[in-house]
Structure 1
């Protein structure tokens, strides 16, 4: 009997195993109820895209908001269409578009949703939503695109667009996925991490027809999205709109800064475009048209265009010369036109008169003393050493380098060093006579309009500036902006030297820029005419006002408009009055600027 126990035990184990195998066979092969129930329900992981932060102007007027759009998505594994012609008609698609989208979706993922038709408007979504139930594998993903209540400020605000493959590869944070939108230019790009918010995720049960059956696990695994933070920009939208109005039909730039803070009041690149053109389903078409436009509306002139500063640079030369002790404010120099051309004005002139009347020979002579200071016994070496000392002083004004505004692609301009001329002419093969045009802001000196506006702010502040910036608060907190925008930057010139400069600039308004004078508002300004080898010279003007309590510093460039006292000075004067008074009292000057005939 004991010998039979192992057999009995083995028989029992075999019997149990046979029962389990048969049951498993029955469930998997014969009875398909479980598989059907599984097919009837599936779990979908839906990303909850956050609302992008809003952008306001300095007076809390809305500049940028979100407009809902809908992406029609397909899941290849579940997608089935019996009547293709009817499907194409209902969803307003071409057959080739459907085939390409399906192939691309399969290549991406067999089970994850991919876009079939992007950025449907609310009206388009309303038209198709009742048909979605008839087509398995279709779903709607709600997103938002940007919208602009006033069509201004495009170059500063920037635009958003779909992330590219290259950008996805560079995304080390793995935040973005195919089809996501992000800032591509302007403030949208610079403050992308602030504006984008935090994604959420929702898990839902859906049946085979794509109908939601409720939250998975009662939403225990769901996370809510967090909206992006709002930006309070420094832009005055009314001033921005007025400046763009004045620059219609012209090419150039306007930058205005609040001197005491470095906040950019307006940044105008002309010609511009309606920022609403680069939103929604027509983004690609409109972007292509803008890139092909010969006037280059996408080129952000205030930070990317470089020009010779012209006579405006004479103010910088005066300050550097006085700080070096080379220029004595009371010493006079003859307006010797055999050295360099000049226009009629009282002769001779001291430092005050040189700024007021923009005397070229004065700066030819004083700059030569600055450069050739007999620092060694070698004449060439003296010039090279003197130039590099001068260059170091000039760069403290924020020239020859990016200022660091909260925009990407800012150009540095150029303040040439001795090494530059060594490369061009060869070492010891150039002299002061080679570079004297630097004395009057011509030659190889190049600046951006932003740098010129910043110079006006430096003159207004008597020797310091804040890095220009376009955002003054994040979610209402002024301390949340990057720290570098709250730090004073001194230019290395004693404050006492600025009194003469300010007085001379105020007098210059009545000497070379009479049109810029505003009744009851004292302006300090300086005209310039930037040489242009490819056509008519550029009209340039910088100013700040009121002189004794500056609230606005401005630079205006009008390309191919000639003398600075006409186009640029007139435009700047109107903007100053608009900002300080809120209205214009000189309609004839406004008409003159709008007409655009600056020959008179």
Structure 2
């Protein structure tokens, strides 16, 4: 009897244990492990991520600069895939069979029941041909996406480009981005990424056994709508931007044009440029590498990353600061005599001027005048030693937006080069240097490095007679047309308004009867300054900065043409054409004036004549009495300036007008 009851309890325990294990297993399958739920759901419904269209980008006149075009990502749920004709499938989507099989294997390794990306960015044409046959391939479906499209291939450095997020960006985003998302990498696309990207949505659709959509799941009750990105209205004038890029064709350099009354950037040209459509779609990677390897560096954003010695365009700043310090007056004259002498050393001047006053010194670009002015500010500043005077001078320069970032709404802006007194203390020792040691600074050479954006901003400040608005590229955001508050605040140059008239008069005479007469426009008074800035890596740079008209200016501009020589020959005429194009919307001067610029090739390595035409290469005889052209070696330039120890030669080199 006892053994009977013992067996009974054992049998009951076995049954109870089996039931308990079954219950636990069912609980695990239904509640904890979602693989079977995913598999079941994928057989009856499909959960699609709805990617929002990025915000459309416009120019200041509502011309579309960037829009969206549809593309399609091919997705697959490996466990739902049935045997299929791989060759036909690869032909339909135009991919290599080996690569397709490799991607499918990776998808299986990742998850058998979750959808994986197999091929991205199929065109509308490819999708159309695939759609007719898609029912033959269970487990595959297509997800709608959009890519950027540029109706006009301009302003690539302003607009920037987007790309797929990598693992590092996904990790840093803390859930904001997922595999397959796109993100702004450069330009406005990056600066305003959070506003442009919008918000993802979710859509659940029912599918039949043939993988065909049958409508929304539960009438869309569980769907969430995607929110499109905000539109951006930029300050760029598309017509002016396009014109500037055509003027800079076959040249290296930049054009920056600003509306002084607002700080809005009208044109932002970095040459050489590139078609922004090259960095879109499935061929983006190959095109990016080609651009990256180009010796002329088209991806380099010269207006905010190239740091040039300003040359003579620095002189109006010196004149303003000298007055504000109370150490120079407009009527005060300094001798020239062909240059400024420091013992046996000489800072040469282009001409042997008679003693110059302030207006004349700007009009004639007298180097000696500004050497004397610099000596007065640094060596003879009442109540200050040299280091204190230099620091006061440097602080005054910095208020013009030089040696500091202007915080334009683009990434990777450089602040330029404006050394502190500690830099010179380190080289020469404290109290062992004076104005003559660093005299090159007086004429915009030496250890100075200024970006084209900074120079255009200086002109906006001078045109406004003492203040500027922070330069920016986006003037309104979204349907409410919001603007960032920091771009509507005035920034003082630290110069009283009464000190501007002689400087502006001198700059006007530069164009009327000075070094930039070739830039004169009838009925549009231009105030400007030419410069020919020294380049330690090759031929000098052609520079011009100015604003127009003289009173209540509508445009301030800076033009840098690398390795092109005189500012009056190239930079000033380019600026003049840009000014007339913006103010009059047309060019009224003879056609040859414009054609000379557009047809000129001033690329590094090209030998050009005064008209900008490439000179014919000299032929040389060979031993076999035949002739052949000399082989042209590729030439690359380094556009940025670097801080170097001041020269110790007997003659301090100078820039020419």
RMSD of aligned alpha carbons: 2.4
Moved more, 423-432 or 391-400: 423-432
Match of 1:370 among 365, 373, 377: 377
Match of 2:478 among 475, 480, 485: 475
Partner of 2:570: 567
Deviation digits for residues 181-228 of structure 1 (CA, Å, limit 9, x no counterpart): 111111111111111111111122334543334323322111111111
**Matches of residues 423-502 of structure 1 in structure 2 within 5 Å?**
423-478=426-481, 480-502=482-504
Q: Is the 8 A contact 1:257 1:263 kept in 2?
A: yes
Match of 1:344 among 340, 348, 351: 351
In 2: Cα distance, 1:354 partner to 1:178 partner: 62
Partner of 2:75: 73
Deviation digits for residues 428-447 of structure 1 (CA, Å, limit 9, x no counterpart): 44332221100000000110
In 2: Cα distance, 1:424 partner to 1:75 partner: 67
The question of 1:354 aligning with 2:361 is answered yes
Instruction: Tell me the SS of whatever aligns to 1:280.
Output: coil
**Matches of residues 69-148 of structure 1 in structure 2 within 5 Å?**
69-148=71-150
Deviation digits for residues 20-45 of structure 1 (CA, Å, limit 9, x no counterpart): 98xx99xx9xxxxx99x958833322
Q: Is the 8 A contact 1:40 1:207 kept in 2?
A: no
Moved more, 59-68 or 367-376: 367-376
Q: Tell me: CA distance 1:38–1:385, structure 2 relative to 1, closer, same or farther (3 Å).
A: closer
In 2: Cα distance, 1:294 partner to 1:211 partner: 51
Aligned length: 570
Partner of 1:188: 189
In 2: Cα distance, 1:520 partner to 1:406 partner: 35
In 2: Cα distance, 1:255 partner to 1:515 partner: 20
Partner of 2:518: 515
In 2: Cα distance, 1:93 partner to 1:500 partner: 69
Partner of 1:403: 406
Partner of 2:610: 599
In 2: Cα distance, 1:39 partner to 1:487 partner: 56
Partner of 2:617: none
Deviation digits for residues 260-314 of structure 1 (CA, Å, limit 9, x no counterpart): 0000000000000111111122111111111111111111111111100111111
Q: Tell me: CA distance 1:338–1:465, structure 2 relative to 1, closer, same or farther (3 Å).
A: closer
Deviation digits for residues 142-191 of structure 1 (CA, Å, limit 9, x no counterpart): 1111111111111111111111222111113x221111111111111111
Instruction: Tell me the SS of whatever aligns to 1:313.
Output: helix
Instruction: Tell me the SS of whatever aligns to 1:295.
Output: coil
Deviation digits for residues 305-355 of structure 1 (CA, Å, limit 9, x no counterpart): 110011111111111100000111111011142421112264111111111
- The alpha carbon displacement at 1:98 in A equals 1.6
Match of 1:162 among 152, 161, 164: 164
Instruction: Tell me the SS of whatever aligns to 2:270.
Output: strand
Partner of 1:530: 533
Moved more, 99-108 or 70-79: 99-108
Deviation digits for residues 104-139 of structure 1 (CA, Å, limit 9, x no counterpart): 324544333222111111111111112221112211
Q: Tell me: CA distance 1:488–1:40, structure 2 relative to 1, closer, same or farther (3 Å).
A: closer
- The alpha carbon displacement at 1:82 in A equals 3.7
- The alpha carbon displacement at 1:563 in A equals 0.7
- The alpha carbon displacement at 1:476 in A equals 4.6
In 2: Cα distance, 1:126 partner to 1:245 partner: 38
In 2: Cα distance, 1:108 partner to 1:322 partner: 71
Instruction: Tell me the SS of whatever aligns to 2:385.
Output: helix
- The alpha carbon displacement at 1:594 in A equals 1.9
- The alpha carbon displacement at 1:63 in A equals 0.9
Q: Is the 8 A contact 2:363 2:506 kept in 1?
A: yes
Q: TM-score, normalised by structure 1?
A: 0.91
In 2: Cα distance, 1:202 partner to 1:383 partner: 71
Q: Is the 8 A contact 1:345 1:357 kept in 2?
A: no
Partner of 1:6: none
Q: Is the 8 A contact 1:562 1:598 kept in 2?
A: no
In 2: Cα distance, 1:384 partner to 1:78 partner: 77
The question of 1:418 aligning with 2:425 is answered no
Instruction: Tell me the SS of whatever aligns to 1:512.
Output: coil
Q: Is the 8 A contact 2:240 2:578 kept in 1?
A: yes
Q: Is the 8 A contact 2:327 2:381 kept in 1?
A: no
Q: Is the 8 A contact 1:567 1:598 kept in 2?
A: no
- The alpha carbon displacement at 1:87 in A equals 3.0
In 2: Cα distance, 1:485 partner to 1:40 partner: 51
Instruction: Tell me the SS of whatever aligns to 2:543.
Output: strand
Q: Is the 8 A contact 1:474 1:481 kept in 2?
A: yes
In 1: Cα distance, 2:156 partner to 2:579 partner: 22
Q: Unaligned regions of 5+ residues in structure 2, if any?
A: 1-7, 27-35, 342-346, 601-607, 612-657
Q: Unaligned regions of 5+ residues in structure 1, if any?
A: 1-9, 29-33
Q: Tell me: CA distance 1:110–1:488, structure 2 relative to 1, closer, same or farther (3 Å).
A: farther
Q: Tell me: CA distance 1:458–1:345, structure 2 relative to 1, closer, same or farther (3 Å).
A: farther
Q: Is the 8 A contact 2:160 2:185 kept in 1?
A: yes
Instruction: Tell me the SS of whatever aligns to 2:283.
Output: helix
Instruction: Tell me the SS of whatever aligns to 1:70.
Output: strand
Instruction: Tell me the SS of whatever aligns to 2:506.
Output: helix
Partner of 1:285: 286
Deviation digits for residues 370-393 of structure 1 (CA, Å, limit 9, x no counterpart): 1123666xxxx8222111111111
In 1: Cα distance, 2:168 partner to 2:117 partner: 19
Partner of 1:238: 239
Instruction: Tell me the SS of whatever aligns to 1:591.
Output: helix
